[in-house]
Amino acid sequence: MSPISRTEHHRALQPRLASTVRLPSMTPTAPTIWLTTLGCAKNQVDSDKITGMLTAAGYAEASSPESADVVMVNTCGFIEPARRESVDTILDLAGAKRGDASLVVVGCMAQRYEAELTEALPEADAVLGLDRYSELVDRLDALRRWTPLTIGSARRSHMDILYETRRPTPTTPYAYVKVAEGCDKLCTFCAIPQFRGKQRSRSPENIRDEIAELAAAGVAEIGLVAQDLAAYGRDTDAPDIVELIRYVSDVDGLRRLRLYYLYPREIRPTLIEEMTGNPIIADYFDLSLQHASSRLLRAMKRPGSGDQHRDLIDRIRSLAPDAAMRSSFIVGFPGETDDDVDDLAAFLDDVRLDWAGFFPYSPEEGTEAAVMDHQISDSEKHTRLRHLQGVQDDITTARSIDQIGRTLTVVVDQVEDDRPVARSYREAPEIDGVILLDEGEPGEWLTVEITGGYGTDLDAIVRGPA
């Protein structure tokens, strides 16, 4: 399938995170923007920063895509289902917007397939990849033929969006902060270096400034994200990841720091010691393991083996026995056999991860794995995925039930159907289970006792403020 084919609406395999960002209301004479975000937390950070740029440039909130002067889609181009979802969303919004409104496509898919999208989607008035965000305000001004009464320096900022700290005040007590862009790894299944480029680490001062702004706005949990978080600073003279988290840990108002996307080879003993010994950092290890078969890991150009993965998990648990662990695994990589699937199932049963996600291998244009022999059929991939997900579901349920009787510190994210929905250090927002409380308001930090569990979620009784 072409990466930008028009498809029938296909919602079965959506990206992990799909959300809509609205700009704060401003003057009614300003052009209005509706921004829809697809993809991962890193894309969400980009959308937040785009929102900050446009707010500073005088653009205003639209109440709906139908009423907006500009409808914008921040696309995901990581794997084929995400690209299908991006194209579907673009076409949906092209049909929903006013006839005189502008449609603008940005994000990973725009970066990777800018020329193809421009040709295949005449509905789009502009397609801007990641490295052209500095042009965004000028392009929107030209599209809308709008010149504000007051032109500030913010309107012509050409700074790298990675270093942008302006963003809207979150409506949640958590937010993500991107500490680096791009990746230097050469995994044979991954096209990210093709469109995100080599790793570029932000300065620690710039990262701390963004965290401080968020904390001052009431965001007490920060998730640090990057394509290869633990390799932060290797490309510059900046401190390494351990020094960075020490540097930002004392920001006023910060109560929890969560680290995402840890490449196993980069998890050094000093990082484990800092994560398990620093009270601000959640005992939550997001390990990018991908598989347990040594042969497949070599084919993926991922160092390590199932035994080395076990050793890493054992080292973490020796310092933090109650640490929560998540990983993601590729199912159906070229050459994967039934024995490899059995080995992965045995590994899961042995290490007892709290959470795990499984993704069918997607052959990505320009990657080594896409032209490897022994490609696996889609039907077989999904059969294997269902089997492995079933194995992990039982483990996740058991790990959740083990929490009954524990006293934990939680933060309330929202109230849904009259029940406060909260998370402890064990649950990352949007991807893991939740804890349902008997009382509490969004943003409150509480001490709770876990009283029951079912599937991925838990029940708890509030014992007092935390």
Structure token pair of residue 143? 């599209």
Q: How far apart (Å, rounded) are the C-alpha atoms in residues 331 and 359?
A: 6
Summarised one tens digit per residue, pLDDT across range 193-225 is: 998 999 999 999 999 999 999 999 999 999 999
Summarised one tens digit per residue, pLDDT across range 112-126 is: 999 999 999 999 999
Q: How confident is the model at residue 4 (pLDDT cuts 50, 70, 90)?
A: very low
Q: How confident is the model at residue 151 (pLDDT cuts 50, 70, 90)?
A: very low
One-letter amino acid for residue 200 of the chain: R
The continuous run of DSSP H or E covering 59 comes out as none
Summarised one tens digit per residue, pLDDT across range 343-369 is: 999 999 999 999 999 999 999 999 999
pLDDT at res. 298:
97
CA 403 to chain centre: 26
Structure token pair of residue 342? 């059995």
DSSP code of residue 370: G
Higher pLDDT among residues 337 and 154, named by residue: 337
DSSP code of residue 376: P
Question: What is the residue extent of each domain of the chain?
Answer: 17-156, 162-401, 407-465
In 112-186, beta strands by DSSP E:
126-128, 174-178, 180-181
Summarised one tens digit per residue, pLDDT across range 442-454 is: 999 999 999 999 8
The continuous run of DSSP H or E covering 430 comes out as none
Global confidence as pTM = 0.88
Torsion, Cα 271 426 346 371, to 10 degrees, reads -70
Segment 427-451 mean pLDDT: 97
Q: Is the pLDDT of residue 378 over 70?
A: yes
Q: How far apart (Å, rounded) are the C-alpha atoms in residues 181 and 201?
A: 7
pLDDT at res. 78:
83
DSSP code of residue 14: -
User: Contact 36/119 with Cβ under 8 angstroms?
Assistant: no
Residues 6+ apart with CB under 8 A from 329: 289, 290, 291, 344, 356, 357, 358, 359, 388
CA 440 to chain centre: 27
The continuous run of DSSP H or E covering 174 comes out as strand 174-178
What superfamily would CATH give domain 407-465? Nucleic acid-binding proteins (2.40.50.140)
DSSP code of residue 429: T
Nearest Cα to Cα of residue 7 among 84, 70, 120, 114: 84
What superfamily would CATH give domain 162-401? tm_1862 like domain (3.80.30.20)
DSSP code of residue 162: G
pLDDT at res. 92:
96
Summarised one tens digit per residue, pLDDT across range 52-85 is: 999 888 899 898 999 999 999 999 988 888 899 9
pLDDT at res. 10:
30
435-436 vs 419-423, strand pairing mode:
antiparallel
pLDDT at res. 76:
92
Structure token pair of residue 273? 């010691």
For tokens 């030209």, name the residue.
142
User: Contact 432/426 with Cβ under 8 angstroms?
Assistant: yes
Q: How far apart (Å, rounded) are the C-alpha atoms in residues 281 and 257?
A: 5
Q: How far apart (Å, rounded) are the C-alpha atoms in residues 9 and 66?
A: 19
Fold match between domain 162-401 and domain 407-465:
no
Q: Please state which of the four CATH numbers 3.20.20.70, 2.40.128.130, 3.40.50.12160, 3.30.420.40 is assigned to the domain occupying 17-156.
A: 3.40.50.12160
How many Cα atoms are found within 13 Å in the side-chain-facing hemisphere of 416? 8
Residues 6+ apart with CB under 8 A from 436: 419, 420, 421, 422, 457, 458, 459, 460
Structure token pair of residue 107? 């994000």
Structure token pair of residue 97? 């917007």
pLDDT at res. 216:
96
Residues 6+ apart with CB under 8 A from 464: 446, 447
Segment 422-439 mean pLDDT: 97
In angstroms and rounded to an integer, the radius of gyration of the C-alpha atoms of the chain is: 22
Q: How far apart (Å, rounded) are the C-alpha atoms in residues 356 and 342?
A: 16
Segment 228-257 mean pLDDT: 96
Segment 29-54 mean pLDDT: 92
Segment 386-406 mean pLDDT: 97
Q: Is the pLDDT of residue 154 over 80?
A: no
Full 3-state SS string of 402-448: CCCCCEEEEEEEEEECCEEEEECCCCCCCCCCCEECCCCCCCCEEEE
- Write the DSSP string, 257-301: EEE--B-GGG--HHHHHHHHH-TTB-SEEEEEEE-S-HHHHHHTT
